[in-house]
Structure 1
């Protein structure tokens, strides 16, 4: 049997640190399902759902369980402003594929401004850092991905579309496709963007009160709602 070359094949509840099911975030059905059933991860996984559904909580916990900073960065990042992350990571165990890379990076749009300041204050010993604060939000986001997302590893993104235009989202998809083509990289992303949800080859998980369910892109409410709005925006706007 051919060995899988991407880092993490499965997420389970830690056998020595069980989570209380009556305490947040296990009160969210997607989190409870993750703890009860575990979750298999392939090379690319996209989580889609409404605000408050639990998708960002899950991505954040995966990043922490992997050893990444909850506010963004690599395994070496120590950036922290205000601790707001859930305790979910303490109750997770990542089942790794043997012999794979331990590199990784976590990007979340809501903490990017502070993270850029952290990078400026802690420049890489091997190169000068990109002048992120001198760029637009989208330009700096794509520059960071181009500068940091390379080679084998686990790459996690939380709602990156908030920084990106339509063409920026396409550029991000191109960068992620190039990473995945190696077979040694793995992507986990949460998004509200129908464009980013279409990451080729990704398993799409619809996150909501039902828990976690695999869905085809064309069957997502996200996609159907945007299609309906673009076909007839006045049908929606007159009800505002």
Structure 2
């Protein structure tokens, strides 16, 4: 059963009134981040962020995870590993509006820092076979092992680790999480991962952030055109 809006771990994000962000910081100059700081952003039970590289998707999901208390390099609240700090600092300037009595448990999984997370889990003797599996197999095992965690799940560009079937498995997992009341925030380049009908989709670009339907997404239109006639694109690469 889906979680009601008032019990979501995060209902809305906005700039923290007591910790405003310096607008000269690089992250604050990203149109999507600037819009969040100026106007705030409503989140649904399943929120999807899509857009080109550099538009601010990962910056936002990383900051949301960090503000919620999750390790910015991935894992749960108990993950303490750090490699090379790359986070924007935005998390310390966000205020999270939480649902009454909402779960404080959470999981953050990002493709960019997966190797470091799995190396950390191995170093502390965590169960699992992450060091002996492919990138995608490790990713799938990680989220299936923790599927009983009810709370906030954040995925950053998960498709980069997954095959077509792996993406279907993740979609199935997300559906189960939503059914049992968890909240999911996902950044993606994959039309497949954005396709669940209950998704609240935000498209991010030079304009900032705008809510969109699945069929209106530029990403979806581009993939449909390519798959219908790949030669239309490939001829530009011919000598």
Q: What does the per-residue CA deviation read over 1:140-172, in whole Å, with 9 as the maximum and x for residues that have no partner?
A: 101100012323210000000001011110100
Once the two structures are TM-superposed, the CA of residue 237 in structure 1 deviates from its matched residue by: 0.8
What is the number of residues matched between the two proteins? 234
* 1:229 to 2:231 alignment: no
Q: Find the aligned partners of 1:149 and 1:60 in 2 and give their Cα distance.
A: 21
Q: 1:3 to 1:229 in 2, by over 3 A?
A: closer
Q: Find the aligned partners of 1:86 and 1:12 in 2 and give their Cα distance.
A: 16
Paired residue secondary structure (1:61): helix
Structure 2: stretches of 5+ with no match in the other structure: none
Q: Which deviates further from its counterpart, 78-87 or 15-24?
A: 15-24
Q: What does the per-residue CA deviation read over 1:189-229, in whole Å, with 9 as the maximum and x for residues that have no partner?
A: 00000000113311010010111111111111101001100
Once the two structures are TM-superposed, the CA of residue 113 in structure 1 deviates from its matched residue by: 1.1
TM-score w.r.t. length of structure 2: 0.95
Once the two structures are TM-superposed, the CA of residue 3 in structure 1 deviates from its matched residue by: 6.7
Q: Find the aligned partners of 2:175 and 2:149 in 1 and give their Cα distance.
A: 12
Structure 1: stretches of 5+ with no match in the other structure: none
Q: What does the per-residue CA deviation read over 1:78-110, in whole Å, with 9 as the maximum and x for residues that have no partner?
A: 110000100111110111111111000100001
- Would you say the 8 A contact 2:202–2:210 is kept in 1? yes
Matches within 5 A, 1:1-240: 4-124=6-126, 129-183=127-181, 185-240=182-237
RMSD: 1.2
Once the two structures are TM-superposed, the CA of residue 24 in structure 1 deviates from its matched residue by: 1.2
TM-score w.r.t. length of structure 1: 0.95
Q: What does the per-residue CA deviation read over 1:30-87, in whole Å, with 9 as the maximum and x for residues that have no partner?
A: 0000000011111010000000000100000001000110110111111100001001
Once the two structures are TM-superposed, the CA of residue 123 in structure 1 deviates from its matched residue by: 2.9
Q: Find the aligned partners of 1:135 and 1:228 in 2 and give their Cα distance.
A: 35
